[in-house]
Amino acid sequence: MKDMTDNGETDAGPLIPRQRHMHPVPYDPEYKTSVPRSPKWPLLSMESTPSEETGPRFGHSLLGPLDNNLILNFSKDGSPAIGERILMHGRVLDENARPVPHTLVEIWQANAGGRYRHVKDNYLAPLDPNFGGCGRTITDAEGRYQFLTIRPGAYPWPNRANDWRPMHIHISVFGHSFGQRLITQMYFEGDPLIDRCPIAATIKERSQLDRLVAPLDMARARPLDFLAYKFDIVLRGRRQTMFENRLEGM
Partner 1 sequence: MVQSLDTMIETPSQTAGPYVHIGCIPSFAGLPGVYPEDLGLSPIAPGAKGQVITITGAVIDGTGWALRDAMMESWQPDAAGRFAGQDGADPAVSGFCRFAADKDSGLFTLTTVKPGPVPHRSGGVQAPHISLWIVARGINIGLSTRIYFEDEDNSADPLLSRIEQRPRVDTLIAKKTAEGQYRFDIRLQGDNETVFLDI
Question: Among all residues, which ones are annotated catalytic?
Answer: 116, 155, 165, 168, 170
Identify which range of 80-88, 146-154, 207-215, 222-230 contacts partner 1 by CB under 8 A: 207-215
Cα–Cα nearest to 89, from 246, 219, 197: 219
Identify which range of 48-56, 77-85, 145-153, 217-225 contacts partner 1 by CB under 8 A: 48-56
First to last CA, the chain: 5
Q: Which of positions 78-107 make contact with partner 1 (CB under 8 A)?
A: 93-97, 104, 106-107
R_g over Cα of the chain:
19
| Spatial separation of the C-alpha atoms in residues 176 and 214, rounded to whole Å | 24
Which DSSP category does 171 fall into? E
Q: Judged by CB under 8 A, does residue 18 bind partner 1?
A: yes
* Structural contact between residues 100 and 235, judged by C-beta atoms closer than 8 angstroms: yes
| Spatial separation of the C-alpha atoms in residues 31 and 234, rounded to whole Å | 25
Interface residue with partner 1 among 24, 99, 101, 152 (CB under 8 A) is 24
Q: Judged by CB under 8 A, does residue 242 bind partner 1?
A: no
Which DSSP category does 243 fall into? T
Backbone region of residue 40 per phi and psi (left: phi > 0; alpha: psi in -120 to 50; beta: other values): alpha
Q: Judged by CB under 8 A, does residue 44 bind partner 1?
A: yes
Question: Least CB distance from residue 85 to partner 1, whole Å?
Answer: 19
Dihedral pair phi/psi, residue 249, rounded to 5°? 100, -150
Q: Judged by CB under 8 A, does residue 73 bind partner 1?
A: yes
Angle at 80 between CA 75 and CA 83, to 5 degrees: 125
Q: Judged by CB under 8 A, does residue 233 bind partner 1?
A: yes
Cα–Cα nearest to 151, from 87, 91, 233: 87
Question: Least CB distance from residue 136 to partner 1, whole Å?
Answer: 8
| Spatial separation of the C-alpha atoms in residues 238 and 68, rounded to whole Å | 29
Q: Judged by CB under 8 A, does residue 160 bind partner 1?
A: no
Identify which range of 79-87, 142-150, 201-209, 217-225 contacts partner 1 by CB under 8 A: 201-209
Cα–Cα nearest to 95, from 199, 246, 219, 233: 233
Q: Judged by CB under 8 A, does residue 51 bind partner 1?
A: yes
Q: Judged by CB under 8 A, does residue 58 bind partner 1?
A: yes
Interface residue with partner 1 among 28, 128, 163, 217 (CB under 8 A) is 28
Identify which range of 80-88, 118-126, 137-145, 213-221 contacts partner 1 by CB under 8 A: 118-126
Question: Least CB distance from residue 36 to partner 1, whole Å?
Answer: 4
Question: Least CB distance from residue 241 to partner 1, whole Å?
Answer: 12
Interface residue with partner 1 among 38, 84, 141, 156 (CB under 8 A) is 38
Q: Judged by CB under 8 A, does residue 7 bind partner 1?
A: no
